[in-house]
Structure 1
Amino acid sequence: MHVRIQSTATPKTPCPGILHEYAERLVAFEYSSSTNHTKPHTLLFIAGLGDGLGTVDYLTDIVAALEDTEWSVFSPILSSAYGGWGMSGLGKDIDEIAQCVQYIERYKHASIADTAAGPGKIVIMGHSTGSQDVMQYISAPNPRHPHSRPKLDRAPPIVRPQVDGAIMQAPVSDRQAIQSVLKEGSDRHSPEDMQKIYDDAVARARRHTFEEYDGLDTIIPLPVTASIGYPETTAVSSRRFLSLASPDSPGAPGEDDLFSSDLGDERLKKTFGMVHGRGVLRSSLLVLYSGKDHSVPPWVEKGVLLWRWRRVTDSERVYWHDQSGIIPGASHTLSGPHQVEQRRVLVHKVTRFLSDIELPPE
């Protein structure tokens, strides 16, 4: 299906492309100005918490930079897109990403006449919580172990196809972002009131995670989640709230708690340290951290954190790409006229990475 979406970037311009149904009731948008040429390589972009199609402004910069290359850009709309994140989870995300990768492999193979050069490359890129998805995709058991979840949500996990590269942009800790909000308070609540609201929400979620014989998720009251900083109209299940808040961390982190600065090496070995053993990532990993990310508390030492992640990831084989690192002055989303230079740096690093992925292995 050929459609045009309206970009949220300024100035707003139409983005031509193709809408693909990659699984039942799941679609992905392929940014494409030409319907006559199917590019062999794919950048699969996974947006963050609350995001959807066209909501991450810098993606249009990446699409423009790749216009004259052999890379096309796909943006899947997962079940967790927009407000769906509150009732979803990383496990379901990576299963749907795996379905999208499978679809792209079939689609590219059927659409490209010259297959003598072999299959095209596929790179997955995540923004914010999309980075959690990327890390889970390349490090979790394959197929993943089903996590404790309602009986109505226990479809068999999917075997994830290999990908040639992975990019994590703004991989931040939701738990530490919540802690920062609690420490600072808000216009309506003092830090003491915020802490009480949070403690009550955690206690309630632990007592009543599921209802109806574990068949249904329970919902944290909207005034509670709104007070903590989540959108007033987004329903958040007790299960997802406990995963994001991860109140037993750092000793027993929740599924979403992958990037907190206080996680010990043993925890990192089970995430970053499993990239090599899973065999899902064929080539390289690019990690791009924003220098002025408002979601990162000021006490986090960004350089030290990235060094720890890299040391664990590369313990058996070098995966980290040399373009990885902190983008000075970059905000969480790199949006707005004051982030033009930061977006330029981001695009340069991403295109350099993709060019290297194209090269044959040494």
Structure 2
Amino acid sequence: MASSKPFSTIVHPYPTKESPNRNACAYETGLSSARNAFVFVGGLGDGPHTVPYARAIARELEKHSRLSYSVFEPKTRSAFSGWKFSCLANDVADISEFVRYLRGLGKSKIILMGHSTGCQGLMEYAAKSSDPVDGFILQAPVSDREASLVGKGIDEEKRLDEIVNIAKDMILSGKGDHPMSHDHLSNDYNRPMSARRFYDLHAKDGNDNYFGSDISNEVASGYWKKFDKPLLILHSGMDRYMEPSRDKMAQIDGWKAMCNPGIVSDLSGVIPGTGHSVRQPKGEEWLVNTVVEFLESTAAAPSSSL
């Protein structure tokens, strides 16, 4: 498990031209002389250094110096509590700006890894960014709408749909960026939150709904076919944000079938015995080893910067 002891990092302040991400910076750990970059993007409420396994990956990559990767954690506008008034489009703009910065540093290969809602950000990146990278990793790709309903009944689902409609009315009346009433948000959300963000996360047609089981194969395949570089998909075996009855491997296989042939790595699978953010030692070890094996499998491919 990632150590809680002090650790060193290099701070990269970088200029932003297209993304209004003021005081943008990223934090680098591991091999600072590496020629390749591994970029980690967390989920809702996350920011640099909040997901311990990112540092565990950096430590392991130091042992595999021939792969020549260091780990970067950029602070996007969605980081920490910023997600409540941000959106996936901002994530794409911020990550794209950082990718351009890394290319300016001379980085050869760039791999993007998303955790939780960071996966939605990478889905959006694959579809809409014009800045190519060399691979993607999705860890704990769950539907935020379905996550909010795990263990709850039909009454809670109806209540959620009522609040979604309130958010929709606010958006249509030009108040999409206004905060939702506290009466409409549970304590789970550490309120406030904009109407637009609530809608994107919880509506069946919300912009964040890439992984919902209610998405038709026709619509979903349009998303997955946007990936044109190697893709690793990893579910957490004991993810509390998914119904226990969900066949996680079957879901991965379904997504794999929607992608272009050869895109999804055969290393994709379910991390055994671990929760959403992989804080169990054995699960973390399994994840780290699989990530390194994935990077080894892509080592011979030419850089997208060429």
When residues 128 and 41 of structure 1 are mapped into structure 2, their CA distance, relative to the original with a 3 A threshold, is: same
Counterpart of 1:303 (choices 245, 249, 262) is: 249
User: What is the match of residue 100 of structure 1?
Assistant: 98
1:224 is displaced (CA, Å) by 2.6
Q: Please list every run of 5 or more consecutive structure 1 residues that lacks an aligned counterpart in the other structure.
A: 1-7, 110-118, 143-158, 184-190, 276-280
User: What is the match of residue 225 of structure 1?
Assistant: 185
Counterpart of 1:244 (choices 194, 197, 201) is: 201
User: What is the match of residue 320 of structure 1?
Assistant: 264
Counterpart of 1:46 (choices 41, 44, 49) is: 41
Counterpart of 1:204 (choices 139, 160, 166) is: 166
User: What is the match of residue 58 of structure 1?
Assistant: 53
Q: Is the 8 A contact 1:17 1:32 kept in 2?
A: no
Question: Is 1:256 the equivalent of 2:195?
Answer: no
Question: Is 1:359 the equivalent of 2:305?
Answer: no
Structure 1 residues 1-362: aligned runs within 5 Å: 9-23=2-16, 24-32=22-30, 38-68=33-63, 69=65, 70-107=68-105, 109=106, 120-138=108-126, 140=127, 142=128, 159-180=129-150, 182-183=152-153, 192=155, 194=156, 197-209=159-171, 214=174, 217-227=177-187, 229-231=188-190, 234-246=191-203, 249=204, 253-275=205-227, 281=228, 283-314=229-260, 317-335=261-279, 339-360=280-301
Which residue type is aligned with residue 132 of structure 2? Answer: Q
1:22 & 1:343 partners in 2: Cα distance? Answer: 34
Q: Please list every run of 5 or more consecutive structure 2 residues that lacks an aligned counterpart in the other structure.
A: 17-21
1:204 is displaced (CA, Å) by 1.8
Which residue type is aligned with residue 345 of structure 1? Answer: W
1:91 is displaced (CA, Å) by 1.1
Which residue type is aligned with residue 236 of structure 2? Answer: S
Q: Is the 8 A contact 2:151 2:243 kept in 1?
A: no
Q: Is the 8 A contact 1:94 1:136 kept in 2?
A: yes
2:26 & 2:185 partners in 1: Cα distance? Answer: 30
Q: Is the 8 A contact 2:240 2:276 kept in 1?
A: yes
127-136 or 260-269, which deviates more: 260-269
1:181 & 1:221 partners in 2: Cα distance? Answer: 25
1:203 & 1:215 partners in 2: Cα distance? Answer: 13
Which residue type is aligned with residue 198 of structure 1? Answer: L
2:235 & 2:158 partners in 1: Cα distance? Answer: 32
Q: Percent identity among equivalent residues?
A: 32
Give secondary structure in 2 for the equivalent of 1:180: coil
1:217 is displaced (CA, Å) by 1.2
- For each residue in 1:293-327, what CA deviation from the matched residue of structure 2 results, as whole angstroms up to 9, or x when unmatched? 0011124221221111000013xx31011211111
When residues 310 and 103 of structure 1 are mapped into structure 2, their CA distance, relative to the original with a 3 A threshold, is: same
Q: Is the 8 A contact 1:17 1:33 kept in 2?
A: no
When residues 165 and 206 of structure 1 are mapped into structure 2, their CA distance, relative to the original with a 3 A threshold, is: same
Would you say how many aligned residue pairs link Structure 1 and Structure 2?
Answer: 294
Which residue type is aligned with residue 296 of structure 1? Answer: M
Runs of 4+ in 1 over 6 A off after TM superposition: none
| Larger Cα-atom Rg | 1
Superposition RMSD on alpha carbons, in Å? 2.2
- For each residue in 1:257-279, what CA deviation from the matched residue of structure 2 results, as whole angstroms up to 9, or x when unmatched? 1112232211112211232xxxx
Which residue type is aligned with residue 230 of structure 1? Answer: Y
1:25 is displaced (CA, Å) by 2.3
2:238 & 2:176 partners in 1: Cα distance? Answer: 39
- For each residue in 1:14-41, what CA deviation from the matched residue of structure 2 results, as whole angstroms up to 9, or x when unmatched? 233233324242111111465xxx2110
Give secondary structure in 2 for the equivalent of 1:167: strand
2:199 & 2:269 partners in 1: Cα distance? Answer: 30
Which residue type is aligned with residue 122 of structure 2? Answer: V
2:24 & 2:286 partners in 1: Cα distance? Answer: 32
1:105 is displaced (CA, Å) by 0.4
Q: Is the 8 A contact 1:95 1:160 kept in 2?
A: no
Which TM-score applies when normalising by structure 2?
0.89
Which TM-score applies when normalising by structure 1?
0.76
